[in-house]
Chain A
Amino acid sequence: MKARAFAYARPSSLAEAHAAFAGADGDASFISGGQSLVPALAMRLQAPQVLIDLSAIPEMRGVRLDGETLRIGALTRHAETLTEPLIRAHAPLLAAAAPFVAHPAIRNRGTVGGSVALADPASEFPAMMLAMGAEMEISGVDGMRRVAADDFFQDLYQTAIEPGEILVALHVPAAGPRHVCAFDEMARRRGDYAMVGGGILAERDGAVIVNPRIALFSVGPTPVRARNAEAEIAGKALDADTIAAAQRALDADIDPLDDAEIPAAMRRHLARVLLGRLLRKLETCS
């Protein structure tokens, strides 16, 4: 349970980080908070020649409001999402999800960007990027590019980030007074990976729900937009019939597999129950 020996680099710019990756012929891992990577190194699931520590790269730090968009530096720690006023005001779904992410000591160290880049299908933050309609700012040797969350999560642990590229920041459309949101998950023990979880961000016009975005996790190899369920509630008030219709529609949105602990049918059932809870508690979130 000890990592294989590696060389260590702590670049102070993105250019240096890309040079370090090229210098290792690609046999390198980037580390930010390390709360998933260090166990993977300890178990030797990964054994890179070089570990490139991203913690000293200024562009990856900080949270700021750019007009209608909140830019969240990839190095922002989970714990900061609970306390940072700009996140609480403009990305409240992230703050609502944060208490469910692992345990407090992990949240003190783990980073939002690291979680999103890893794209664990049972993690909270990747799914919330889908629900918030975030864009990922990705740095490569040829410069920056942006990828929408809807195109970012491709398969199990596989994202639009190419080898050697670095997730620099998350750009979240700033939520305002018209927005409502809800987050919840079902886990056997607080801090454990959820059996099923999800978040909703929408606007409310009077009693009517507009532009809903529903994202679920732990229901397949990637976080999932529940587009059929969204269609059932868009433009409607959330009465019991509408919620029931959305729950029925959800079946076509997810395709969970049987696993050793949870049969697919149970996950489908839990997802329906969870969606009902989320829709009943949709409320102003900033």
Chain B
Amino acid sequence: MNMMAGTVPLSLTVNGEEVARMVAPRTTLADFLRTDLELTATHVGCEMGACGACLVLLDGVPVHSCLVFAVQAQGQSVETVEGLVASGALAPLQQAFHERNALQCGFCTPGMLVNAHALIARGSVPDREEIRDAISGNYCRCTGYEAIVDAIEAAARKANGEGAE
């Protein structure tokens, strides 16, 4: 074990690519992604785990990247909205958000998409209460949540072959 001051070496996988950088231990994963890797789809709102704009997948599950220091992600796998868009994984959700007008300013949307993606990936159609529970830690301050729940529900139905209503 090393007691490390200054910057420390960090290697992890981001959107499928190996990344190695020197980071200050106090750098959050959110700041590392945005500043060091210029992956700015991860939004930083409250920096205290309340708003949900900074969600990323860490080893496959949604976490607040503002509540993880980058050094804690050593050896782990991070997927950001950029990666999920590039792979096409978010396309049905993006389409549903577009069709339902489920965003206005768009600041909260990346976090909404990450949580909605993880919810739909569970493989069944969630009811509206489950959708609301899943995004209960995602704040939207402009549209209200009705259209967002509509969009997630529509995308979940489509993903499970039920077609849009």
Contacts and interface: CB of A to CB of B under 8 A. Distances in A.
A5 B136 contact: no
B121 interface: no
Contact of B26 (A2, A34, A104): A2
B63 A34 contact: no
B92 interface: no
Interface stretch (A36-44, A128-136, A202-210): A36-44
B69 A38 contact: yes
B5 interface: yes
A205 B95 CA distance: 57
A243 to B, nearest CB: 29
A248 interface: no
Contact of B61 (A41, A53, A79): A79
B91 interface: no
B115 A7 contact: no
A109 interface: yes
A104 B66 contact: no
Interface in B132-165: 132-134, 136-137
B138 to A, nearest CB: 8
B101 interface: no
Contacts of B105: none
Contacts of A51: 25, 69
Interface string B113-124: 001000000000
Most buried by A among B62, B71, B115, B132: B62
B25 A1 contact: no
A7 B5 contact: yes
B64 A106 contact: yes
Interface in A7-33: 7-12, 16, 20, 23-24, 31
Nearest to B23: A8
B66 to A, nearest CB: 7
B132 to A, nearest CB: 7
Given A35-B49, A43-B48, A53-B72, A9 B3 contact: yes
Contacts of A11: 1
A38 B67 contact: yes
Contacts of A236: none
Interface residues of B, number: 34
A102 interface: yes
B55 interface: yes
Q: Is the interface of B mostly helix, strand, loop or mixed?
A: mixed
Interface string B15-27: 0000000001110
Nearest to B137: A103
A190 interface: yes
B3 A34 contact: no
Interface string A91-103: 0000000010011
A191 B69 contact: no
Given A2-B26, A11-B1, A103-B52, A190 B136 contact: yes
Nearest to B46: A1
- Looking at B8, B26, B48, B134, the one whose CB has the most chain A CB atoms below 10 A away is B26
Contact of B49 (A4, A23, A106): A106
A212 to B, nearest CB: 30
A260 interface: no
B137 A6 contact: no
Given A7-B25, A34-B69, A43-B48, A108 B62 contact: yes
Interface in B7-43: 8, 24-26, 28, 31
B87 interface: no
A12 B74 CA distance: 14
Contacts of B71: 8, 10, 53
Given A8-B71, A34-B69, A190-B133, 12 more contacts: A1-B47, A4-B26, A8-B8, A8-B25, A10-B1, A10-B71, A34-B72, A38-B49, A104-B133, A104-B137, A106-B49, A106-B67
13 contacts: A9-B2, A9-B3, A16-B1, A20-B3, A38-B28, A38-B69, A39-B47, A51-B69, A103-B52, A105-B62, A105-B63, A109-B68, A191-B137
